[in-house]
Structure 1
């Protein structure tokens, strides 16, 4: 039996697991050696402060990666996990009746992002790194009657597989760096 508050036509789209894993591992690979290197080089910043900073940074990154897109019969909504404070990641919602257009904009790197335009003239960035992006775009088209045939994700999965491969190599180098640093301090 369904709750009265649940829309049976609602769809939930979370950030792609490949993207989430790649970005979290990249963060770890870039920051993990720092406290060990700080101890080895007797850096001005103490390693306990680095550990705390890395932990806080990891929590902030995980919060940003908790983005979810909810499509229901009323509209589209971008939310974050309940534990993420609103001042950090606010999210937004837009009723289908207020959507007037889907406009592409080029990025500084030459890619395309898309904005949903509302009747009030506000622009809302269409999330592009969600799992099931094509299904989400088809639902947007079905609800708004806006042609989305040319809408493609910003980054293709193969790009994240390459980044994941490079990150794994970096983690291997990190392991060597940490072992070397620990052997120097003993």
Structure 2
């Protein structure tokens, strides 16, 4: 087993963070305008507060960090991110027995670290930048063959989603601009 350079940190890939943040904006920015134009009485200020809270929680979830060192692998979140939404974990390398493959409901493949206590499994973080390096560290530290382990989603998938999200943002912008200039939201 090779040495890990003191401690390594892996964050969620920037393309994933950007895409999901822009998708959130594309899906939510029109809502206050629709609330104003709709006959339903709903306080727009309350809606905006809810959307801001949603954005903060999204950013907290996208701020996941994977830390690896000589002793363990750990998944952490910012101190302000509520544990009941996503709890971090840590696992000593000596506890890892195997990587267990599971199929997701959408047909993707995910891997879990399995420990001697069979009732506990820890999801291998698969959306991090530097995934190949993380997998190499896992192999070095556990001795488990990881040559077949691939990220859950390839970058091109997020690039396609980013493209559609940008189109949706353009349509949102055009629709809101048209509604404002034509007096539909007066």
- C-alpha distance in 2, partners of 1:38/1:176? 18
Q: Does the 8 Å contact 1:99/1:117 carry over to 2? A: yes
Is the contact between residue 12 and residue 71 of structure 1 (CA under 8 Å) also seen in structure 2? yes
2:124 to 119, 123, 126: 126
Confirm whether residue 10 of structure 1 aligns to residue 1 of structure 2.
no
- Is the 1:63–1:80 contact (alpha carbons within 8 Å) kept by the matching residues of 2? yes
Task: Give me the whole-angstrom Cα distance separating, in 1, the residues matched to 2:8 and 2:33.
Answer: 45
How much does 1:130 deviate? 0.2
Bigger Cα displacement from structure 2, 174-183 vs 74-83: 174-183
TM-score (norm 1): 0.93
What SS is found at the alignment partner of 1:185? coil
| Counterpart for residue 3 of structure 1 | none
**Contact 1:36-1:182 at 8 Å conserved across structures:** no
Q: Does 1:62 align with 2:59?
A: yes
2:166 matched residue in structure 1? 168
| Aligned-partner SS, 1:85 | coil
Partner of 2:42: 45
- Structure 2, unmatched stretches of 5+, are none
Task: Give the TM-score, by structure 2 length.
Answer: 0.93
Report the count of equivalent residues.
180
Whole-angstrom distance in 2 between the partners of 1:84 and 1:177: 34
For the residues of structure 1 that align with 2:40 and 2:170, how far apart are their CA atoms? 24
Structure 1 residues without counterparts, runs of 5 or longer: 1-6
Which region of structure 1 is more displaced relative to structure 2, 33-42 or 140-149?
A: 33-42
